[in-house]
Structure 1
Amino acid sequence: MRITIVMASDEDGGLEKHVIELANGLAKYQSVSLIAHPRFQHLLNASVNFCAMDLSGSRHNPWTKYQLKKQILATQPDVVHAHASKTAKLMQGLVKKIQAPCVVTLHGDKSKLGAYCAFDHIITVSQRLAEKLPQTANKTVIYNGVELTQKAQPFHKNRKFIAIGRLNEVKGFDVLIEAWSDIPYVLSIVGDGEEQTKLQALIEHNGLTDRVKLLGFSDQVHQLLTEHEALIVSSRREGGPYTLSEALLLHRPVIGTDVGVMSEFIEADYLCKPDSAEALNAVIKQYLQLEAPEKEFDSAFTNAQHKLTFDCMIDQTLAVYQHCIEKGKTL
């Protein structure tokens, strides 16, 4: 099977991490080409045919679309897999011109889904997102699986908590810092981004410098998760989040805002509405009352083992490709 993956993004986040890992994983079993920004080439295994193309400009540029179509056809794909909104919009008018079936993954909540519906099949990273698509759409839910860099370690109730992600408005770390005002335990926030100065000022303003730390970017996320008791998600909106999969597979509880796939793995008692420091504070305090948190989240850990592993994601993705190839073009 010849698989061509297309990604227009040139940023550093969960989406890009997912696509790189997916390409590397699929290349163990099939012939894979990835069309993406040159900055990602060093992250790919030698078995992936990397096609460098800067798609970061306007999605309306006809020359970009022409070059993208030419590049896709040059890879002679049996199936094409586009990722996220910008790629979907770039390829919307190309799908009918490509003989191979075209799959697209919807990674986050979008108000306009017309570009996605132009594809032969839609993968969503949560059931919540799948329910937003038209009932007539060909769709499959495949959760973001992760490959751990270390084994799960025994749970320790050490009252150290962690939040992970780019320091931007979407991740809601400003809300989390406000919610931490009367929590007497350590909070580590891992990541970098445009809101770093703002968040540091907020920590200082609220007198939290003794227990809330901005650790910056780290490529040792799995080790850091293991060193903390639980992950807190404070996002205003999400597709995954990716860190949910990592934490649960490492047997670390996850609490926070009811976004993305959170409610499909975490019980309602440990979720709250986004963008509310008061609601998030209440959820944190609810968790802190637990005598044995690991027992409360045991079913979530088991569910993650069944649905969030890297191998599971690869197997399900290949099954969608095979189904689309056998079915042929639908549009």
Structure 2
Amino acid sequence: MAFVSKPKIIAHFILQLDIGGLERVMLNCIRRMQQQSDVKHVIISLTTANDFSQDDLREKVAVHCLNKKAGNDWKLHFRLFQLLKEIKPDILHTYNLSTIEYHPIAMLAGVKGRIHAEHGRDINDPKGLNKKHNFLRKLMSFFIHRYVAVSDELFQWLNTTVGISKTKTQLITNGINTEFFNLPKQPSENIRFANIARLSPIKDHKNLLQACQLLQKEHDEMPWTLTIIGDGPLREELALLTQEYQLNERVNFLGARDDIAELLTEVDVFVLSSIAEGIPMTILEAMSASTAIIATEVGGIPQVIEQHKEGILVEKQDAIALAQAMAFYLKNVEKAKEHGKQARDKVLNSYNEQRMVKDYLACYEQLL
């Protein structure tokens, strides 16, 4: 799809350009859009930006950091206004609660199209019931042309709880490159569990480690390992907890990595212990790589994982249930392979990156 007029500019406004699922969705979309249209993209970070691994984007996409101070930073509104007047974007696309309040500034700066996307929730409001936050989301509907939700659960929440009109909301589920995440599995005598997530409270790695402690007590004789991929503020605390639980020979921390497709070749079961989620990119990537899934039954995850078909769903913050699900795959290795195959089939049919990009391009075009 290509715009018939001069190239348009889309400004993507995010809290921080860091390593995470939301950031990968955004960057993957930008890459695909550049291949399929003449749209130009810029990224605005409310705070700072780390180096991102998409080598083909670094020289093509400008990144602007507003370096927001902690607390109220009223001068930031003026800096954003000046930046938008300089960039002259045709559309401002904000992501999650942290950037939604700046749409009036975008309107004053002459930005024609204004879109806000909800990808998930914060640890302080995992169910999205904070009245102050939802009042802000509702208030901003006077300035926002389109709200995008990445899961059915978020879509219904925007309509019923927040009170956004259905005429302003759109469901665009996340999608991934199913060709890229399709490398053959490397054989192993161990059952290899893995978790890929930012090491932050909402991902609840403490509960995952507690489950591993229980698993080790009940199945110490069985060969299994857990690899945790990602970085974040809880890195040191989780490493100490691993030592306290005497899991050092079982659990390995790899830190932040950009070779996820290769790492998934050595994973039999992907485990996600989050308290809240949208539709996590890491689950879709693992599914595309024919990996069985254990995940908490939160957010949009039940939309993706059918119980005992692509994996196993458990209640959040329930270490016993999580350990039991891991034990199931320890005892039923062939089921892990079967669920992994069905997981890939699900992604191929419903969560393809090309479909996601097509939907976003159509959404942008409608506002121009």
- TM class, shorter-length: 0.7 to 0.9
Pairing 1:90-239 to 2, within 5 Å after superposition: 90-92=102-104, 94-95=106-107, 98=110, 100-109=112-121, 110=128, 111=130, 112-117=133-138, 118=141, 119-134=144-159, 136-137=165-166, 138-147=168-177, 149=180, 151-154=182-185, 158-181=190-213, 182-183=215-216, 184=222, 185-239=224-278
Check whether the contact 1:24–1:45 (CA below 8 A) recurs between aligned residues: no
- Higher mean displacement: 146-155 or 196-205: 146-155
- Give the secondary-structure state (helix, strand or coil) at the position aligned to 1:36: strand
Match in the other structure for 1:328: none
Q: Is residue 31 of structure 1 aligned with residue 70 of structure 2?
A: no
Q: One-letter code of the match for 1:224? A: L
What is the root-mean-square deviation of aligned Cα atoms in Å?
2.6
Say which of 328, 332, 343 aligns to 1:286.
Answer: 328
Unaligned segments of structure 1, at least 5 residues: 326-331
Q: Is residue 306 of structure 1 aligned with residue 306 of structure 2?
A: no
Check whether the contact 1:8–1:56 (CA below 8 A) recurs between aligned residues: no
Q: One-letter code of the match for 1:26? A: M
Pairing 1:12-91 to 2, within 5 Å after superposition: 12-28=19-35, 29-37=37-45, 39=49, 43=54, 44-48=57-61, 50=62, 52-57=64-69, 61-91=73-103
Deviation string, structure 1 residues 47-84 (Cα, Å, up to 9, x no partner): 33x15232533685443223323333443433321122
Distance change in 2, residues 1:226/1:56 (3 Å): farther
Percent of pairs with identical residues: 23
Match in the other structure for 2:315: 273
Check whether the contact 1:65–1:91 (CA below 8 A) recurs between aligned residues: no
Distance change in 2, residues 1:32/1:260 (3 Å): farther
Unaligned segments of structure 2, at least 5 residues: 122-127, 217-221
Distance, in Å, in 1 between the alignment partners of 2:231 and 2:119 is 21
Distance change in 2, residues 1:197/1:63 (3 Å): closer
Distance, in Å, in 2 between the alignment partners of 1:289 and 1:315 is 42
* Runs of 4+ residues over 6 Å off in structure 1: none
TM-score (norm 1): 0.87
- State the Cα distance separating 1:237 from its structure 2 match: 1.5
Distance, in Å, in 2 between the alignment partners of 1:224 and 1:39 is 25
TM-score (norm 2): 0.79
Distance, in Å, in 2 between the alignment partners of 1:190 and 1:40 is 17
Distance, in Å, in 1 between the alignment partners of 2:320 and 2:88 is 54
- Give the secondary-structure state (helix, strand or coil) at the position aligned to 2:317: coil
- Give the secondary-structure state (helix, strand or coil) at the position aligned to 1:133: helix
- Give the secondary-structure state (helix, strand or coil) at the position aligned to 1:129: helix
Distance change in 2, residues 1:208/1:41 (3 Å): closer
